[in-house]
């Protein structure tokens, strides 16, 4: 399902900076990797990007268009003149995030109907096969709360690939937890968490789907969907209304990905007693 030989082009309305760079290197040509109901995953110049409908959450790998083309007749993708999205810089002083994350965790069940590992935020056990990995999630949360990057990495590796779909729940939890630690760690701890992120990124390359490995690599490097960045900024500003709004947008992503990322972010931020997440 390559684009070779097709002359028609689709003009996207917004492009994440990674997606724009990949399409420019590829001359607008992309190969379909997977087609879902509301997005088409593509490979362009060796990089993973996706095409979604306008209004979908922004991401560095996202290309947003008014309508999706047929995946079996993928046209050339035109990014010239397209508005480019980059994530906002991290908060300069994130110290308040931990306290605000605990407050949000206590009210997270009110954000909607939890799914995936997000069920833990409502005191419920997730369904098979996630139920068998709850202990690893709690180990990851405890390690993050204790600032133990080595233990967090060991727990994280055990969650890679856990769950169905192109982006398994375990990957989303791990990526968002390490995203939070990247925000919070300072001084020598920052180097330890960077090493943990490198280990997880390397293991993900062989332990999970290529699409999920790419997104997880972004998260552990400090980049994710726009609502996750907005959530971090609102928590850092102690803007509880803004944090709840961003969290609602986050949990709307995918079947359970948003809830998994919220659980991971809150666990990574040391939100309360980790055992209380169950």
Q: CA–CA separation, 137 vs 216, rounded Å? A: 16
Segment 194-252, tens digit of pLDDT: 999 999 999 999 999 999 999 999 999 999 999 999 999 999 999 999 999 999 999 99
* Any domain includes 3: no
Query: Do 54 and 136 lie in a common domain?
Result: no
Query: Do 65 and 146 lie in a common domain?
Result: no
| Residue recorded with tokens 């995030």 | 97
| Domain interval for residue 198 | 94-277
Q: Which of 62, 85, 108 is the last residue of a domain?
A: 85
Q: Which of 85, 105, 136 is the last residue of a domain?
A: 85
Query: Do 219 and 261 lie in a common domain?
Result: yes
Query: Do 115 and 245 lie in a common domain?
Result: yes
Task: Retrieve residue 34's tokens.
Answer: 């997977």
Segment 67-101, tens digit of pLDDT: 999 988 889 999 998 999 999 888 888 889 999 99
Query: Do 99 and 177 lie in a common domain?
Result: yes
Query: Do 55 and 143 lie in a common domain?
Result: no
Tell me phi and psi for residue 42, to 5 degrees.
-130, 160
Query: Do 45 and 141 lie in a common domain?
Result: no
Cβ–Cβ < 8 Å for 200, 160: yes
Is-above-0.85 flag for pTM? yes
- The candidate with the shortest Cα–Cα distance to 152, out of 97, 200, 103, is 200
How many distinct structural domains can be found in the chain?
2
Query: Do 231 and 269 lie in a common domain?
Result: yes
Query: Do 67 and 136 lie in a common domain?
Result: no
* Any domain includes 4: no
Q: How many CA atoms lie within 13 A of 266 on its CB side?
A: 32
- The candidate with the shortest Cα–Cα distance to 275, out of 136, 138, 126, 155, is 138
Query: Do 58 and 157 lie in a common domain?
Result: no
Percent of the chain with pLDDT over 70: 95
Q: CA–CA separation, 73 vs 85, rounded Å? A: 27
- The candidate with the shortest Cα–Cα distance to 254, out of 72, 28, 101, 50, is 50
């Amino acid at each position: 399902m390559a684009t070779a030989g097709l002359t028609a082009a689709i003009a996207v309305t917004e492009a994440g900076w990674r997606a724009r760079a990949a399409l420019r290197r590829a001359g607008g040509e992309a190969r379909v990797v997977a087609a879902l109901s509301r997005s088409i995953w593509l490979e362009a110049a060796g990089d993973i990007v996706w095409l979604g409908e306008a209004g979908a959450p922004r991401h560095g790998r996202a290309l947003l268009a008014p309508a999706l083309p047929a995946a079996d007749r993928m046209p050339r993708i035109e990014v010239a003149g397209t508005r480019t999205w980059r994530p906002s810089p991290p908060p300069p002083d994130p110290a308040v995030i931990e306290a605000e994350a605990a407050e949000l965790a206590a009210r997270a069940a009110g954000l909607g109907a939890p799914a995936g590992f997000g069920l833990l935020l409502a005191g419920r056990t997730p369904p098979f096969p996630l139920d068998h990995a709850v202990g690893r999630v709690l180990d990851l949360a405890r390690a993050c709360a204790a600032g133990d990057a080595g233990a967090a990495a060991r727990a994280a590796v055990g969650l890679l690939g856990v769950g169905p779909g192109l982006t398994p729940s375990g990957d989303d939890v791990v990526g968002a937890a390490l995203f939070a630690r990247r925000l919070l760690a300072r001084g020598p701890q920052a180097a330890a968490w960077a090493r943990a992120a490198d280990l997880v990124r390397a293991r993900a390359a062989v332990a999970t789907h290529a699409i999920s490995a790419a997104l997880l690599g972004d998260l552990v490097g400090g980049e994710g969907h726009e609502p996750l960045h907005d959530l971090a900024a609102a928590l850092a500003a102690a803007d509880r209304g803004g944090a709840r709004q961003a969290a609602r947008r986050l949990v709307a992503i995918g079947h359970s990905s948003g809830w998994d990322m919220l659980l991971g972010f809150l666990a990574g931020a040391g939100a309360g007693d980790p055992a209380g997440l169950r």
